Structure 1
């Protein structure tokens, strides 16, 4: 079995250590085990960097933040929703502890500090690669956190002793400024290696030039709409996305292969989190959507339903919502069979099972171990369409929108060409194309601030509520840091 750098047996001890270091910005100092074991020579940095990706994968696999608060999911037979889905968040219920984000950030900070002591004279390109990935990872952690809580403590120094800074929340604008700075530095490092090539992807499971440009564009779209950056941010997003378009990606002809083909050999994928039953026990978040045999026994179309034999591998918790299904207005849409399938029992229709991440059917059972996609080309095209619409270049927005629609078999967009309608169509297309890819809530928030929708009317569970769009912090955060204030609105 080919090993991946996302997680390999040799890194299990490192991963266990990373899981235990949760005290960044809290009362207790970060453990100094990393300094004692690692960073003694140049060969220590690569495995340490690989360990940081385990934190990134954990965030990519958490549907609470990117999906549950949206409109995509309803209960199937075994509901596992948190209060985020019902939008009953409060300081006492559903509030978060941000230690996981700062665990990743803290290790990025420490690596960036320690690597300065090493010249990498025999392999200077390796140092540039490590620096590029580390800056991109720190930007990823902060961008994810920014979209969850807004204002956030901006911790950029390594914690190497008991003197842990207890920082207040920095304004979201300052956090975004740092995200962009880290991504610019990552892009500079990636592009400064000898024999640089834009379409070089040493691993689809780790940041590279193209994926750093992708997250930069994503951040610029958020900044343009949520933070009021406007024209300059839209133009920066277009520039970054144009760079991604030069990295040799192509749309899969068959939509089945979008999630059915491993990222390592998938020409559409820029960046993914690696999963495999032998290296990531428990599988990915699609476990919650997979049926198990006793639930679908007797269905007349059981062969069309991806199900696990054991309820440990498929938990039957989620199904596609009527609102998400209603976006698929064209019955000829080739994405439908690979998005959901309606279970038909002798007594009639039952549950609309999600088929986006069907897992792998092994001899003993089906395992939810598809790679979790973070960025892929269709997403890039729709982000660029959104950015073009933001600067009122509706012809180019339509061209990128049509590229995605043509692969889906739904034909070119023929609706009205005013800015509001085109932006609404882009949001709908993202709902179709990127369904169940852990992006929808962030999309809805962005388009809400961009005045395309009113999220309090669009999301069924938000109607007649005033729940803030960012999460509250829980009591542990305040106990560990008296300088932290609660998220506005709680």
Structure 2
């Protein structure tokens, strides 16, 4: 991987992020800082740590193509008039290859974040000024947690990857062979373990976006669960239940902008509205193409939509009276005009919905619809402040229930599981049969975390990706004639993505994943 270019980015504009006195949410550079004048104070290091969070947004902006649309939760609204989104469709249909841009951008963003954390950690060892122990511990903890997070993202999506643990200062350091999956996981565990001992406990409502012990314990627990080491996950996840987090009484409240970083938020990617490069636009991706006036209240022709569309398979999986359905999935009713373009008319509930005569209905992810929306003058796009959830407390409870069940403590698993179900308006689960409970928890995770980029990774983690997606592919190809016969060939090789083509060209020591 050509990391030298990341060092250049980091040591120029990428370092001068913000003053710590401002909100942590404000992550964009405000100028340039010469490398020779930087890393001279605690504030400099704190600013650099802030910069190491920025690639989280670069990943979240497109992660749903890779993690949700790859699953049975989401598909896409086929646009026969505009085939510019073919690369996105290929990800959903298991037809992607090493030249897919989304895959390449995710790989690059992860290593961008890793490069920034490596510089911080290496430079911190060489400081000649006095730094308070508490500040030093927090900087080390955040940097190591971020590095572990980026490597966990890489190993789950690409398998074995180059393991860069120091600042790249020459060509030899920039080009490394792939390290084994076991070695990558060992480093992830080491980094998270160190981070857990250094970062602060959560203070709710927490400082916007900061990594805390809650985030580290949760993700380290998930790492152990991915490795089938459930006994090590149990105490970590149990500890998170004592840190002050709680569920909002209404499911929809967990996603409202006024509740960002609130009591249910363990970790989320930060965005703010405006045209300074820190805004999000998820809702424009998820609603249908067409004029947004009757959906968002803005007179804007959206040409970015039709992605992450809820599937009928998911809709049919909701239990009767589950309050999460209405909060998660909506319906846009409309018609086609003479140019066969969709004209949205109104948004309605998906609960017990049947399409009326002479009406076209399109399902969309309602979870991220939070009007009113405002415009940016002289811009042709509308920017939002919608954060992206990585870990909610409901996720922690379900992971905890799963880990308890897998360690033979099924009766104890019922408590966290039923806490999530109670909020959804559903009755308690009473069975303690491990196999039955395993399936119930998996279903609960699918519904509770729908469109939060967990479904595909859960299927892979629980060895269900091949059977579930093969069966789903058969049904989907029967429904949609535009899907190629070769689609949904879900093999072991397809459980991870290819190493991006451009990385293979840059680094002769890389070997491509089988099947690509």
The equivalent of 1:457 in structure 2 is: 470
Taking a change above 3 Å as real, the CA distance of residues 145 and 13 of structure 1, as seen in their structure-2 partners, is farther
Per the alignment, residue 237 of structure 1 pairs with: 233
| Aligned residue in 2 for 1:87 | 94
Residues 264-317 of structure 1 show CA distances to partners (whole Å, capped at 9, x for unaligned) of: 55210011111122144662433211346637x8xxxx6xx5565323596243
Given the alignment, which residue of 313, 316, 321 partners 1:323? 313
CA distance in structure 2 between the aligned counterparts of 1:426 and 1:453, rounded to whole angstroms: 19
How many angstroms does 1:138 deviate by? 0.1
Aligned ranges 1:214-363 → 2 under 5 Å: 214-224=218-228, 233-262=229-258, 264=260, 266-278=262-274, 279-280=276-277, 283-291=280-288, 294=291, 306=296, 308-312=298-302, 315-330=305-320, 332-345=321-334, 347-348=358-359, 350-363=361-374
Distance 2:95 2:120 in 1: 39
The match for 1:211 is 215
Match of 2:192 in 1: 183
Distance 2:448 2:454 in 1: 11
The corresponding residue for 1:105 is: 114
Change (3 A) 1:389 1:334: same
Is the contact made by 1:431 and 1:440 (CA closer than 8 Å) also made in structure 2? yes
- State the number of aligned residues: 446
Task: Give the corresponding residue for 1:61.
Answer: 61
Cross-structure match for 1:4: 23
How far, CA to CA, are the matches of 2:445 and 2:43 in structure 1? 42
Cα 1:209–1:262 change in 2 (3 A) is farther
Q: CA deviation at 1:127?
A: 1.2
Cα distance in 2 between the residues matched to 1:383 and 1:350: 35
- What SS does the corresponding residue of 1:117 show, helix, strand or coil? coil
Once the two structures are TM-superposed, the CA of residue 190 in structure 1 deviates from its matched residue by: 2.0
Structure 1's 454 and 34: CA in aligned 2 closer, same or farther, altered over 3 A? farther
Q: Does 1:394 align with 2:410?
A: yes
Gaps of 5+ in 2: 1-20, 335-355, 377-381, 477-486
Matched, 1:378 2:378: no
Q: TM-score, normalised by structure 1?
A: 0.83
Contact in 1 for aligned 2:93/2:488 (Cα 8 Å): no
Judge conservation of contact 2:99–2:500 (CA < 8 Å) in 1: yes
Q: Distance in 2 between matches of 1:313 and 1:204?
A: 32
Tell me which residue corresponds to 1:128.
137
Give the aligned partner of residue 164 of structure 2. 155
Question: Which runs of 5 or more residues in structure 1 are unaligned?
Answer: 15-32, 192-196, 225-232
| Alignment check: 8 A CA contact 2:288 2:364 kept | yes
Cα RMSD, aligned residues only: 2.8
Greater shift, 420-429 or 92-101, is seen at 92-101
Distance, in Å, in 1 between the alignment partners of 2:269 and 2:258 is 10
Distance 1:143 1:239, change over 3 A: same
1: distance between equivalents of 2:471 and 2:39?
Answer: 50
Equivalence for 1:48: 48
The answer as to 2:450 corresponding to 1:435 is yes
Look up the SS of the partner of 1:272 in the other structure: strand
Tell me the alpha carbon deviations over residues 428-468 of structure 1, each in whole angstroms, 9 at most, x when there is no partner. 111111111112111111122xx698344354267554352
Q: Is the 8 A contact 1:213 1:243 kept in 2?
A: yes
| Partner Cα distance (1:163, 1:124) in 2 | 34
Residue matched to 2:500 = 474
Given that 2:66 and 2:92 are in contact with CA atoms closer than 8 Å, whether structure 1 keeps it comes out as: no
Structure 1 contact 389–422 (Cα < 8 Å) conserved:
yes
Relative to the length of structure 2, the TM-score reads: 0.79
